[in-house]
Amino acid sequence: MATGSSRGGIETMTITVDAVSKDFDGHSALKGLSLDIPDGTFVALLGPSGSGKTTLLRIIAGLAYADSGHILFDGDDVTAVPVQQRNIGFVFQNYALFRHMSVAENIAFGLDVMKRRQRPSKADRTARVEELLDLVRLDGLGARYPTQLSGGQRQRVALARALARKPRFLLLDEPFGALDAKVRNELRGALRTIHDQLGLTSIFVTHDREEAFGLADRIAILNNGRIEQYGAPDDISAAPASDFVREFLQ
């Protein structure tokens, strides 16, 4: 498989979604959807519930498979490649932290389950965890447990864990949906800073218009399994491509 460009030691990737369709029990969740995500871009998948946002994200990640169409990373077809071989970082809305593990152990989990020949040394593991704690502004909290943290802090731990193995790109499924407005605003800024600092290719699912337009370089507005419009936030605001987009942005 070809590799993407490298920034700060992290491989970044161009992602191509080519005519992807997906049905669930006779319902078409995605209908021949195509999308190009350039290397290093922060893309928001925006749309109402049931529009196909999370299904698309999970297919890109390898957590679900398309019924037809292809997913390509830097031109290589990874449609049938298992999730564990795609080297992605995934952040869930509900954090998905291990309650019985400390913050440091949660962050290091992905490193600890690597094949022995690929697994970093104990010293390198510790250094990586400390580096990530500093990156997400949780210095000194490595010994705490998830139940001892606020919701915003737990989401920062989830983000650090997703970055531990230096993924080629970062996928986030409504990661701030369970947080209050003040914490959401704080974490939006932190996420954008981390994206810019690491030069990642990032895809962010949200139904929040303010969130999408405040964070993303490009926005894909989904409706009923299709993309209604894809472009820069200012371009979409200035020239909505359909009645649906116009009404959705009001």
pLDDT in tens, the chain (250 residues): 334 444 444 455 689 999 999 999 889 999 999 999 999 999 999 999 999 999 999 999 999 999 999 999 999 999 999 998 898 999 988 878 999 999 999 999 888 887 888 888 889 989 999 999 999 999 999 999 999 999 999 999 999 999 998 998 999 999 887 788 888 888 888 899 999 988 889 999 999 999 999 999 999 999 999 999 999 999 999 999 999 999 999 8
Contacts for 240-243: CB closer than 8 Å, 24+ residues apart = none
CA distance 78 to 95: 26
What length does the chain have? 250
Tell me which residue range forms the domain holding 75: 1-87+170-250
Tell me which of 115, 139, 166 is where a domain ends: 166
Backbone phi, psi, residue 144, to 5°: -75, 170
Tell me which of 166, 189, 224 is where a domain ends: 166
Question: Is the same domain home to 78 and 194?
Answer: yes
Question: Is the same domain home to 21 and 44?
Answer: yes
Rounded to two decimals, what is the model's pTM?
0.89
Question: Is the same domain home to 44 and 61?
Answer: yes
Question: Is the same domain home to 204 and 188?
Answer: yes
Half-sphere CA count of 49, side-chain side, radius 13 A: 1
Question: Is the same domain home to 126 and 24?
Answer: no
Provide, rounded to the nearest whole percent, the portion of the chain with pLDDT above 90. Answer: 71
Angle at CA 178, nearest 5°, toward 177 and 181? 75
Question: Is the same domain home to 67 and 117?
Answer: no
Contact between residue 66 and residue 240 where contact means Cβ atoms under 8 Å apart: no
Question: Is the same domain home to 67 and 122?
Answer: no
Q: Residue 240 has which token pair?
A: 């909505």
CATH of the domain at 175: 3.40.50.300
CA distance 101 to 105: 6
Question: Is the same domain home to 27 and 74?
Answer: yes
Residue 202 pLDDT:
94
Question: Is the same domain home to 194 and 213?
Answer: yes
Contact between residue 138 and residue 157 where contact means Cβ atoms under 8 Å apart: yes
CA distance 132 to 6: 18
Question: Is the same domain home to 145 and 244?
Answer: no
Contact between residue 110 and residue 164 where contact means Cβ atoms under 8 Å apart: yes
Tell me which of 166, 197, 212 is where a domain ends: 166
Question: Is the same domain home to 59 and 106?
Answer: no
Question: Is the same domain home to 14 and 78?
Answer: yes
The number of folded domains in the chain is 2
The average confidence (pLDDT) of the chain is: 90
Q: Residue 246 has which token pair?
A: 């116009």
Phi-psi region of 50 (alpha: psi -120 to 50; beta: other; left: phi over 0): left
User: Which residues pair with residue 21 across a beta bridge?
Assistant: 68
Contact between residue 120 and residue 131 where contact means Cβ atoms under 8 Å apart: no
